[in-house]
């Protein structure tokens, strides 16, 4: 029988490292999600050219 | 042998804290604070989430450059007493791991800062990492006693990056904040070099104490302190004009010059006699100096936003 116990100090260190990495990754995902929400909300109108004439894409009379 | 037991003391597997220590958390705190001040005092507003993300990625970029610095300097970190407990010389993290973490976090921080704020801020962060790792760590540190004078620019960029996050550009105010940190760096590090005694000569790093002697270093500390004082007080009458900044700059610079004067007048016998008390105290004061001066810049900006005026000062 091995005396390779689950509560070995090495396992505690690995567990700490894995949970640390999990927390970092979850934090990163949450931050990217929040950033996306903020960028979309503050980004103004997002309207791409789709080969169709639209009043919002035409230059107003007077040239400006 | 069928015994599968092993001794954990023989393993060098790193903990999460060892990887975090690669990012030089104490240096990172200075980066975070000065970048935050740069961001907050800049004209214009940034959404709190964007601001938080920007500061986080600036800190991450600073940390990444710290990891690359530890990767490159692992040989001299083993020799110097001050750095022997760092993760690589302590045998907790391998140089390859440090290199991989440094490169990965550098790329991640620059890309994410570009996405979270703008390309100017991301470009400045990329340049800061390049300057610290390639120009300072790989080139200047081992080749010239001007290493920390020129290399100090790397530590001076964060407030400019914070400013760029808010404005998308560079201006005279952000350059002034850069200048304060840039001229503060030499006296700060040379005081450290004085009381770390033989660390730098043992590691063959050409610090000023090693190449030009300790007496000359004392003179240079005083010269740079006077220069810094003139610069920071002079700035109170230009773009960084504010009553809190002026008052803080005058008080701090008087204390700083007094400390540098004490260092100048001492010789090595006196310093050895009290275990470099004046040099250690000057080093601690230098940390407080930068923190309070940037706090004063922030305080003036807050007063302006609140509409408080002092007879035409702000």
Please check whether residues B135 and B186 belong to one and the same domain: no
Task: State whether B24 and B50 are in the same domain.
Answer: yes
Domain end (from B170, B191, B212): B170
Same domain as B156, residue B47: yes
A3 touches chain B (CB under 8 A): yes
In a domain, B37, yes or no: yes
Residue B6 lies in a domain: no
What are the distances in angstroms from CA B78 to CA B86, B135, B140, B141, B209? 9, 22, 19, 16, 20
Residues of B in contact with A21 (CB under 8 A): 16
Q: Is the pLDDT of residue A31 over 90?
A: yes
Q: How many CB atoms lie within 10 A of CB B114?
A: 17
Residue B14 to chain A, least CA–CA distance (Å):
8
Distance between CA B151 and CA B121 in Å, rounded? 20
| B313 lies in some domain | yes
- Shared-domain flag, residues B117 and B192: no
Q: Are residues B137 and B203 in the same domain?
A: no
Nearest-neighbour CA in chain A from B242: distance (Å): 33
Instruction: Kindly determine whether residue B115 and residue A16, on different chains, have CB atoms separated by under 8 Å.
Output: no
Looking at the complex, report in whole angstroms how far the Cα of residue B34 sits from the nearest Cα belonging to chain A. Answer: 22
Does B12 contact chain A (CB < 8 Å)? no
Residues B283 and B156 in one domain: no
H helices of chain B, in order, are 16-21, 25-41, 48-72, 74-79, 95-116, 119-130, 147-156, 158-167, 172-195, 199-202, 208-211, 213-235, 243-265, 268-273, 277-306
Tokens of B270: 């006196």
Residue B119 inside a domain? The answer is yes
Tell me if B191 sits within 8 A of B207, measured CB to CB: no
Nearest to B24 by CA among B81, B102, B78, B79: B102
Do B185 and B161 share a structural domain? no
B135, B170, B205 - which closes a domain: B170
3 state SS of A55:
helix
In the stretch 32-51 of chain A, residues with CB closer than 8 A to chain B read 34-35, 37-39, 42
pLDDT along chain B (314 residues), means of 10: 44 83 94 96 92 97 97 94 93 95 98 96 98 96 92 94 96 93 95 87 88 94 96 83 91 97 93 92 96 95 83 50
Task: Please tell me which of the candidates A10, A37, A39 has its beta carbon nearest to residue B11.
Answer: A10
One domain for residues B218 and B262? yes
B189 shares its domain with B309: yes
Domains contained in chain B, number: 2
The rounded distance, in Å, linking the Cα atoms of B119 and B54 is 12
Q: Give dist(CA B131, CA B68) in Å, integer.
A: 12
B237 touches chain A (CB under 8 A): no
CATH number at residue B119: 1.10.357.140
Amino acid B292: pLDDT: 96
Residue A25 touches partner B, C-beta closer than 8 Å: no
Task: Indicate whether B77 and B98 sit together in one domain.
Answer: yes
Mean pLDDT, residues A31-55: 79
Indicate whether B151 belongs to any domain.
yes
**Does any CB of chain B come closer than 8 Å to the CB of residue A1?**
no
Q: Do B4 and A38 touch (CB under 8 A)?
A: no
Could A35 and B49 be called an inter-chain contact, meaning their C-beta atoms sit closer than 8 Å?
A: yes
Tokens 């002026």 belong to which residue? B246
- Find tokens 């500390």 and name the residue: B221
End-to-end CA distance of chain A: 84
Do B54 and B165 contact (CB within 8 A), yes or no?
yes
Of B170, B190, B207, the residue that ends a domain is B170
For chain A, state the CA radius of gyration: 27
Judgement on whether residues B176 and B304 belong to the same structural domain of the protein: yes
Both tokens assigned to A12: 């505690």
Does residue B1 sit within a domain?
Answer: no
Task: Judge whether A49 and A57 are in contact, CB under 8 Å.
Answer: yes
Distant-in-sequence, close-in-space partners of B164: CB < 8 Å, separation ≥ 6 = B117, B118, B120, B121, B124, B170, B174
pLDDT score of B6: 44
Paired tokens of B1: 């042998």
B123 with B205, same domain?
no
Residue B7 lies in a domain: no
Neighbours of B51 (CB within 10 A): 19
Residue B277 domain boundaries = 171-314
């Amino acid at each position: 029988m091995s005396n390779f116990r689950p509560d070995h100090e090495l396992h505690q260190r690995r567990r700490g490292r894995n949970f640390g990495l999990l927390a970092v990754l979850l934090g990163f995902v949450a931050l990217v999600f929040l950033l996306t929400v903020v960028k979309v909300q503050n980004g103004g109108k997002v309207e791409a050219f789709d080969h169709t004439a639209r009043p919002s894409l035409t230059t107003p009379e007077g040239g400006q | 042998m069928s015994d599968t037991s092993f001794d954990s003391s023989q393993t060098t597997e790193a903990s999460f804290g060892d990887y975090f220590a690669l990012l030089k958390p104490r240096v990172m705190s200075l980066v975070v604070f000065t970048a935050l001040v740069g961001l907050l005092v800049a004209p214009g507003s940034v959404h709190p989430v964007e601001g938080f993300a920007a500061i986080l990625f600036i800190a991450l970029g600073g940390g990444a450059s710290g990891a690359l610095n530890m990767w490159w300097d692992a040989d001299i970190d083993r020799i110097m007493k001050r750095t022997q407990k760092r993760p690589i010389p302590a045998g907790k993290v391998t140089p390859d791991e440090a290199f991989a973490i440094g490169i990965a976090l550098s790329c991640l921080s620059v890309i994410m800062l570009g996405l979270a704020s703008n390309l100017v801020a991301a470009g400045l962060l990329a340049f800061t990492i390049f300057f610290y790792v390639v120009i300072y760590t790989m080139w200047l540190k081992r080749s010239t006693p001007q290493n920390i004078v020129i290399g100090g620019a790397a530590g001076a960029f964060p407030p400019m990056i914070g400013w760029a996050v808010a404005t998308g550009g560079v201006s005279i105010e952000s350059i002034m904040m850069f200048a304060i940190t840039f001229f503060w760096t030499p006296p700060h590090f040379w005081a450290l070099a004085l009381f770390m005694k033989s660390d730098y000569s043992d590691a063959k790093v050409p610090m000023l104490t090693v190449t030009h002697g300790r007496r000359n270093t004392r003179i240079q500390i005083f010269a740079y302190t006077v220069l810094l004082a003139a610069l920071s007080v002079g700035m109170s009458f230009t773009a960084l004009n504010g009553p809190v900044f002026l008052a803080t700059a005058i008080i701090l610079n008087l204390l700083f010059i007094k400390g540098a004067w004490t260092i100048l007048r001492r010789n090595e016998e006196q310093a050895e006699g009290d275990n470099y008390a004046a040099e250690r105290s000057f080093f601690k004061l230098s940390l407080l100096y930068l923190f309070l001066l940037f706090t004063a810049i922030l305080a003036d900006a807050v007063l302006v936003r609140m509409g408080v005026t002092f007879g035409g000062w702000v």
